[in-house]
Amino acid sequence: MSPGRTDNELSEPKVVYDINLPYATSNGDVVDACKERTEFPDYLPVWEKGVWQDEVALFEFSDPALRADITKPNLFLEGVTQEHITPRMGTILTGVKLEELSKEGKDELALLICERKVVVLRNQVGFLKSGPQFQVDFMEHYGKLSIQPVSGHIKGFPQYHIIHRDHNEDEVKNFLQSKMTTALWHQDVSYEKQPPGYVMLGILACPDVGGDTVVCDTNVAYQRLSVTFQQMLSQVKVVHTSEKMINHVKASRGMVRSDPIDTIHPIIRVHPVTGEKALFLNQEFKKDVIGLKDMEADLITKFLMEHMIMGHDFQVRISWEKHSVVMFDGRSTLHSGTVDYDTNHQARHLFRLAAMTEVPIPDDGAEAAEFHS
């Protein structure tokens, strides 16, 4: 036995998977002190019994970006300004009122998300206060909404994935006993047959500084690879699974609302709007790499993940501001939140709505299609 280790520590190893789980006390209730540090206490997470989600069957999807006017006259109304965060990706819009956006404006926003990968919408207090039904209806314009199988949601609205971090410094310390960083790079619920293409994050409470979200452009990450490597990857498929996440929650005695899902996706996918090719690899949900031996799969997974994570010249860092909403393209990005603030004295509270889109389109070896026009 190692010095300082007890029999109990050896017989009950720590269960460490994702510091975003769980969010509440053992009985599923958020502590009262948390309610004082968010402007939106009705959006604190609950775990309702009797909510079960079967695997989502295939459905028809028509991308709203393909209907959009490329000049975007219904999005860039008088008084709307845009500021690019980096030359390649990320745009901040000021003056847009999401709660007043027309159908055509929503289509044009979809196109901008496809073009810029990440769109930050400032000063969205009206939209954030419009209520969950309005927000669900808004996001259903972009696709069928995903239901996250383990996390807390808003009462009566299982489409919401609530990210709530407050009064849990001990949990973060426990996580970092075995991990080097709080960063967990991923694509949301990529194990679905039709993974989310349009994802919305709405900030409900944020630290004064910190708690940023970092996003990687997986299209540029693909372009940086050699042609030989690209051609090899075009033949590779990956099994994405929710099994690890669900088993973690079961081991933590948390609530599970679906059976594990396994889905095979190409590691290179083609964007239906832009024609761009992008890496589609999610280490959090990867179960198997089809056609490769274990050592080969481990080597390629490690290489591609490090390539995307370390590619700071094709990433953008989103600094949260009060009443901001962020929408991003789940088909051409990888992202991670950061826990770099005092989680005992400042809250980070936001919601996610994720609209599932098309079945990932594999790379057939053809040149990338021309941009949507």
Predicted confidence at residue 175, as pLDDT, reads 81
Name the nearest CA neighbour of 128 among 27, 205, 185, 64.
205
Q: Give residue 231's pLDDT band: very low, low, confident or very high (50, 70, 90).
A: very high
Say if CB 320 and CB 203 are below 8 A apart. Answer: yes
> What SS3 class is residue 214?
strand
Beta strands in the chain (DSSP E): 81-84, 91-94, 118-121, 144-145, 161-165, 196-205, 213-217, 237-241, 262-266, 268-270, 277-279, 286-290, 315-318, 325-329, 333-337, 348-356, 361-362
Q: Give residue 15's pLDDT band: very low, low, confident or very high (50, 70, 90).
A: very low
Say if CB 174 and CB 305 are below 8 A apart. Answer: no
> What SS3 class is residue 242?
coil
6 has pLDDT over 80: no
- Give me the mean pLDDT over the 334-352 stretch: 90
370 has pLDDT over 90: no
14 or 231: which carries more pLDDT confidence? Answer: 231
Task: Summarize the chain as % helix, strand, coil (round to 5).
Answer: 25, 25, 50
Q: Give residue 4's pLDDT band: very low, low, confident or very high (50, 70, 90).
A: very low
Say if CB 72 and CB 108 are below 8 A apart. Answer: yes
220 has pLDDT over 50: yes
Predicted confidence at residue 7, as pLDDT, reads 43
Kindly report the number of other CB atoms within 10 A of residue 103's CB atom.
11
Predicted confidence at residue 10, as pLDDT, reads 38
Name the nearest CA neighbour of 323 among 96, 23, 84, 72.
96
Torsion of CA 69, 72, 77, 83, to 10 degrees: 170
Predicted confidence at residue 22, as pLDDT, reads 44
| In the chain, % of residues over pLDDT 70 | 89
Q: What is the DSSP string of 328-372?
A: EETTSEEEEE---S-TTTS-EEEEEEEEE-PPPEEP-SPPPPPPP
Interior/surface letters 300-322, b for 16+ CB within 10 angstroms, e for the rest: bbeebbebbbebeebbbebebee
Say if CB 190 and CB 285 are below 8 A apart. Answer: yes
Q: Give residue 216's pLDDT band: very low, low, confident or very high (50, 70, 90).
A: very high
Predicted confidence at residue 95, as pLDDT, reads 98
| Domain definitions of the chain by residue range | 72-361
283: which 2 tokens?
Answer: 């280490």
Q: What CATH class has 72-361? A: alpha beta
- Give me the mean pLDDT over the 190-214 stretch: 96
Angstrom CA distances, 196 to 134, 239, 285, 360, 363, stand at 19, 16, 14, 10, 19
Predicted confidence at residue 179, as pLDDT, reads 84
Q: Letter for the amino acid at 228?
A: T
Q: Give residue 1's pLDDT band: very low, low, confident or very high (50, 70, 90).
A: very low
What pLDDT, in 10s, does the model give residues 121-132? 999 999 999 999
302: which 2 tokens?
Answer: 């490690």
Predicted confidence at residue 228, as pLDDT, reads 97
Mean pLDDT across the chain: 89
Predicted confidence at residue 75, as pLDDT, reads 98
331 has pLDDT over 90: yes
Query: Among 252-261, 284-293, 316-325, which is the least confidently predicted range?
Result: 252-261
Torsion of CA 162, 166, 168, 171, to 10 degrees: 30
- Give me the mean pLDDT over the 51-70 stretch: 95
Q: Give residue 9's pLDDT band: very low, low, confident or very high (50, 70, 90).
A: very low
Torsions phi, psi for 363 (to 5 deg): -80, 120
